[in-house]
Amino acid sequence: MSTPQSQPHLRIVKGDPTTEEIAALVAVLQAAASAGATPPGRRPVSEWAAPHRRLSTALPSGPSGWRASAMPR
């Protein structure tokens, strides 16, 4: 029994690349795809839900309070 042929994942539409050039392209694409992958079982934690965001300090008051509110603490 024969299996149906699947579509290729990569198709060269112009030019005549060497096998080394195709291998380099595949390596770069694989590295880019795996760079953003998270380990199984771990989900990235949103910075908006971080516990330290719930802690706040008193807002500055006075004539220059609006300016000091944007300064890092």
pLDDT for res 2: 58
Integer Cα distance of 57 and 71 in angstroms: 13
Whole-number Å distance between alpha carbons of 61 and 12: 63
| pTM metric for this prediction | 0.40
Q: What's the mean per-residue pLDDT of the chain?
A: 76
Where is pLDDT greater, at 18 or 62?
18
Question: Higher-confidence residue: 69 or 13?
Answer: 13
Query: Which residue has tokens 């198709």?
Result: 11
Q: Give residue 38's pLDDT.
A: 59
Residue scoring higher pLDDT (73 or 70): 70
Q: Which two tokens stand for residue 71?
A: 């300064």
Higher pLDDT, 27 or 43: 27
